[in-house]
């Protein structure tokens, strides 16, 4: 490959940024299609919303298979498969006349595509390109979701208002296919595939000193980690528990926050604004926290993110008695500026513990646990609300899950296996 004036890893970051901005928001656009579909067909809201739930289930079930495919074929195959599936789902959805049509298109096809194009798929290869600036690179790449939501979702809503949801779905499908198919041809799994080193570092020679290693536990790092070997370690289960709890609290807040704010007296406009501001604040939040994780360690930032969601739950409980916008502002800032830090480090943490040629399979399996948490959180919260008549106990459970999330990452202890760039100097040198 022709040598570029800058490190090729930043092209990988840019491609991921655009792919996430389009791919993740293409799935999110279903929330905009929801109302006109219900109005047109007169279906129950639960029946219509079931398409999104089916998509979530499909994503969870396919996650380990996606990881295995990444290990065998690399990111081009995984991403292009995701593009084709998502594009097909969006182009076929306008043909819907029965609920099952929506379940197949928006649910199965778009859901299957989104697991490839979203956080899970990108985390399977992006961390390979950086060591010193891994958190920063992932944070920058994943910020594409927030930027995309600002640009794409208003555009989709404009199309719905002018031409209907079918035209908007077709437009999104065409955008996904025409932009992402050629763009993802630029992807490579690791820098070594094109003769480079992580971070763009020069290849060590006999005349130059090798760069300091970030390996803290050489015995662990020397293991050829397969899924059967990984699942026999406590680290695997602590990571799975931490990931489960992380998405449990994330989706609990996201799904129930808006309706709850309306129920306690805020206008629907204020509630929608709160949700939108979270995504906006999350853009600098995940970049800054990702960069900070490269300096102080992943455990601290994971804990900070869990603490951010704990603050959200505390604010939501207090808001029931003191419904003021000031507390809403605190909740929004905590959720976006702190909570969104999860996205910058989840893939990095698993990579630093189970790095190797089978990483995709291992990460895909841990992602299954994470998605199970994302499904359980909103459901358990809803059930507790129905039983007790309010959200107090459900939000207290959320605080407990936030604490458990933070504890789990410290017990997984990625710092004891590979050090982040800001901690490499602390690795003990042999006498």
Q: Give the model confidence (pLDDT) of 242-295 as tens digits.
A: 999 999 999 888 878 887 888 898 887 787 788 778 888 989 999 999 999 999
pTM here?
0.85
3-state SS assignment for residue 124: coil
Buried b (16+ CB within 10 A) or exposed e, 279-290: bebbbebbbbbb
Query: Is the distance from CB of 9 to CB of 199 less than 8 angstroms?
Result: yes
1-5, 64-68, 317-321, 384-388: least confident range = 1-5
Integer Cα distance of 102 and 337 in angstroms: 35
- Tell me the pLDDT band of 428, cut-offs 50, 70 and 90: low
* CATH architecture of the domain with residue range 218-421: Up-down Bundle (1.20)
In the three-class reduction of DSSP (H, G, I as helix; E, B as strand; rest coil), residue 322 is classed as coil
Calculate the CA 431 to chain-centre distance: 42
Phi, psi of 350, deg, nearest 5: -65, -40
- For the chain, the average pLDDT equals 90
Higher pLDDT, 205 or 295: 295
- Give residue for tokens 């979203």: 118
pLDDT of 76 higher than 60? yes
Domain 9-198: CATH superfamily is: MFS general substrate transporter like domains (1.20.1250.20)
- Position 260 scores a pLDDT of 86
Amino acid 210: pLDDT: 58
For 216-238, write each residue's pLDDT tens digit: 999 999 999 999 999 999 999 99
409-422 average pLDDT score: 93
Mean pLDDT, to the nearest integer, of 328-332? 93
Tell me 107's DSSP state: I
CA torsion sign, 72 to 58 to 375 to 231? negative
pLDDT band at 16 (very low <50, low <70, confident <90, very high): very high
In this prediction, residue 46 carries a pLDDT of 75
Confidence check: pLDDT of 114 > 60: yes
Residue 183's nearest CA partner among 421, 12, 413 is 12
Is the pLDDT confidence value at 20 over 90? yes
CA separation for the pair 360, 123 (Å, rounded): 9
Which region among 94-98, 143-147, 206-210 has the lowest average model confidence (pLDDT)?
Answer: 206-210
Residue 425, Cβ density class (10 Å: 0-12 exposed, 13-18 middle, ≥19 buried) = exposed
- What's the mean pLDDT in 164-185? 96
Q: What is the mean pLDDT of residues 44-59?
A: 80
Q: What is the pLDDT of residue 2?
A: 62
Give the pLDDT of residue 430. 45
Could you report the per-residue pLDDT of 122-169, keeping only the tens digit for each?
999 999 999 999 999 999 999 999 898 888 988 998 999 999 999 999
Domain residue limits, the chain:
9-198, 218-421
Domains 9-198 and 218-421 share a fold: yes
| pLDDT at residue 58 in the model | 86
| Position 429 pLDDT exceeds 80 | no
Query: Which residue would you say has higher pLDDT here, 54 or 94?
Result: 94
Cα end-to-end distance, the chain, whole Å: 42
Looking at residue 272, what is its pLDDT? 74
The pLDDT score that the predictor gives to residue 1 is 55
């Amino acid at each position: 490959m022709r040598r570029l004036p800058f490190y090729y890893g930043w092209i990988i970051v840019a491609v991921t940024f655009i792919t996430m901005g389009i791919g993740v928001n293409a799935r999110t656009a279903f929330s905009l299609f929801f109302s006109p579909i219900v109005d047109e067909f007169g279906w129950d809201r639960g029946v219509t919303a079931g398409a999104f739930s089916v998509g979530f289930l499909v994503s969870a079930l396919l996650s380990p298979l996606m990881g295995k495919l990444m290990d065998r074929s690399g990111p081009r195959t995984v991403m292009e498969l995701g593009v084709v599936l998502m594009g097909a789902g969006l182009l076929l959805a306008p043909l819907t006349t029965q609920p099952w049509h929506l379940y197949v298109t928006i649910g199965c096809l778009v859901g299957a595509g989104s697991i490839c194009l979203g956080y899970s798929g990108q985390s399977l290869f992006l961390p390979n390109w950086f060591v010193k600036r891994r958190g920063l690179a992932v944070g920058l790449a994943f910020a594409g979701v927030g930027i995309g939501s600002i640009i794409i979702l208003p555009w989709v809503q404009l199309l719905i208002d002018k031409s209907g949801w079918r035209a908007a779905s077709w437009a999104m499908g065409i955008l996904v296919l025409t932009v992402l198919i050629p763009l993802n041809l630029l992807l490579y799994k690791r820098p070594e595939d094109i003769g480079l080193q992580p971070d763009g570092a020069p290849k060590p020679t006999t005349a130059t000193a090798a760069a300091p290693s970030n390996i803290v536990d050489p015995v662990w790092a020397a293991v050829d980690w397969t899924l059967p070997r990984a699942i026999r370690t406590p680290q695997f289960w602590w990571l799975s528990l931490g990931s489960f709890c992380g998405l449990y609290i994330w989706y609990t807040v996201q799904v129930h926050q808006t309706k709850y704010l309306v129920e306690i007296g805020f206008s629907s406009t204020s509630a929608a604004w709160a949700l939108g501001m979270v995504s906006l604040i999350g853009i600098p939040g995940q970049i800054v926290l990702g960069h900070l994780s490269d300096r102080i360690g992943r455990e601290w930032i994971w804990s900070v993110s869990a603490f951010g969601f704990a603050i959200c739950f505390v604010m939501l409980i207090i808001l029931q008695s003191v419904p003021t916008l000031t507390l809403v502002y605190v909740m929004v800032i905590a959720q976006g500026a702190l909570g969104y830090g999860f996205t910058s480090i989840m893939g990095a943490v698993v990579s630093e513990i189970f790095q190797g040629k089978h990483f995709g399979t291992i990460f895909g399996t841990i992602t299954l646990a994470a998605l199970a948490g994302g499904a359980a959180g909103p459901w358990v919260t809803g059930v507790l609300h129905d039983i007790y008549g309010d959200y107090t106990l459900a939000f207290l459970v959320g605080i407990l899950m936030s604490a458990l999330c933070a504890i789990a990452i410290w017990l997984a202890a990625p710092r004891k296996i590979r050090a982040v760039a800001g901690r490499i100097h602390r690795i003990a040198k042999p006498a």
